[in-house]
Structure 1
């Protein structure tokens, strides 16, 4: 395992994605293993981009999208999804940069708390969030598909 990034923050340009970025962002999410059969990433991006309370941010190293996050809020709490760093660009501090961008996006909108969900078997990402001073909260998450389909993991 590589050592965590300890130097100055890497230079990534961060901006909300444009239509032309959608395919690159979905490809990044797939490379990072973030997509699931029951979630259509293109639909998730489209929904986030049409709302005032959500955005998909991309981190670029030159012209390449190497990091992303879908960030939003419900007026009370912020949430992040699809936090991704290209596997070829990990351990350079880009994860911290994209999370800082998501936190700042929420701060500008007056949101004081950010929450996220991590699958229990993803110990590597749990360590990443702990290194960013996130802490585990004991909660039970309930879910229901409103179209009547069976529960998914």
Structure 2
């Protein structure tokens, strides 16, 4: 079995498998519609969803985009049966390369305050806590 993932942009045929991966990895939230988020990320050249595939199966993902000033990542997920195999690191490297290819030099991401395991993962990759507060307001349904 070849365990080296092939990383590429999501295709229409991948959407169901990606959403299933997100649910299995526990990264979905009731207030975010994964289908809608995927459609929104694919609407133009400023964002996309990257997937890792091994032997025809989607095993990891990352949603990556840029806002004209910095890059952002969301939905970083790895198949729970394959966590610890380097898929998260590979997806973050792919997201970083996608952004660098567009001239973006700064990447930011959000981690829930109580998710110490994920904080350690990103710290291990060289990310630092900016000690910033994130505010939000839903302005449309």
The TM-score bracket by the shorter chain reads: over 0.9
1:127 corresponds to which residue? 120
Tell me which of 14, 17, 27 is aligned to 2:7. 14
Runs of 4+ in 1 over 6 A off after TM superposition: none
How far 1:146 sits from its partner (Å)? 0.6
Q: Superposition RMSD on alpha carbons, in Å?
A: 1.1
- Is 1:109 paired with 2:110? no
Distance 1:16 1:128 in 2: 23
How far 1:37 sits from its partner (Å)? 1.1
Asked which structure has the greater CA Rg, the reply is 1
The number of aligned residues is 139
2:63 corresponds to which residue? 70
How far 1:11 sits from its partner (Å)? 1.9
TM-score, structure 2 as length reference: 0.96
- Structure 2 spans left out of the alignment, 5+ residues: none
Determine helix, strand or coil for the equivalent of 1:146. Answer: coil
TM-score, structure 1 as length reference: 0.88
Deviations 1:2-24 (A, max 9, x none): xxxxxxxx621000010000000
1:30-41 correspondence to structure 2 within 5 Å:
30-41=23-34
1:58 corresponds to which residue? 51
- Structure 1 spans left out of the alignment, 5+ residues: 1-9, 149-153
Deviations 1:75-114 (A, max 9, x none): 1100000000110001111111010000000000000000
